[in-house]
Structure 1
Amino acid sequence: MAEKSMPSDPSSVNFINNQPPPPPYQGPPPAMQPGPSGTTYVTATPVVVAPINVVRIMGSAPSSYICKSCNMNIITRTEVKPATKTHLFALLLCVLGLWPCVCVPYCVDSCQSIDHYCPNCSAYIGTAR
């Protein structure tokens, strides 16, 4: 079997569909060529910036919101429940000798936390404290 050797002259190589060879490498791209004052210019690459999620402060009343779970424009459903602050106020009233007033922090909304939920999918949205 005869061995094929590489031709010594690259111009004698036959290309597919008789296309000429690609041009030789001539150096850096035009954007990297030195400028008239010897400064090298570099092209800028685009920067992708991710959107920032803005946290919305929820109040004690139901508020309009776009639910992240079901993508619906909703009015939030609120649930009031005692928080650590509620229990601390009740303990303070008991320590001060005002034990008949211990139930007051459990009746006042400003002493409790208010959770906001989506009425469509029941997803938790946030807490107002």
Structure 2
Amino acid sequence: MSTDDYTAPPAPTVALEPPAAATATVDPSPAAAMAAASAPAPARTRWAAIIWGTLFAVIAGNAIFLLADDARREGIAGWMLDLTPMTVTSFALLVAGGLVLLLGAIGLIRRVQRRAASRTP
């Protein structure tokens, strides 16, 4: 059998007229209004994930920068050995305060998103 004997199937036809559903008028019934109102809302941007991802990326970038060079690594080791208990406590409180600030900002963004979603018809 050669390729000359092969006949291709006919090409699919395309309808030139719009389907009947596209030309139908809008149904003013309450059921149609309820169906239109229950349509899914568009996806929200997850700002908390963006903020946390950015924070972790910054921490990872700083860690890679600081640990990639022997001189910087030795400098950090010397600095950590010279820390006093009061300094460690101060840094721990600073980190805890930063996390509280970050969580508060994420909460505010979430409240704004929910308020905007509730106002959208």
Q: Which has the higher contact order (CA 8 A, sep 6+)?
A: 2
Between Structure 1 and Structure 2, which shows a larger proportion of strand residues? 1
Q: Same fold (TM over 0.5)?
A: no
In our comparison, the structure showing a higher alpha carbon Rg is 1
TM category, shorter: under 0.3
Q: TM-score, normalised by structure 1?
A: 0.23
The alignment's TM-score, normalised by the length of structure 2, stands at 0.24
Structure (1 or 2) with the greater helix fraction: 2
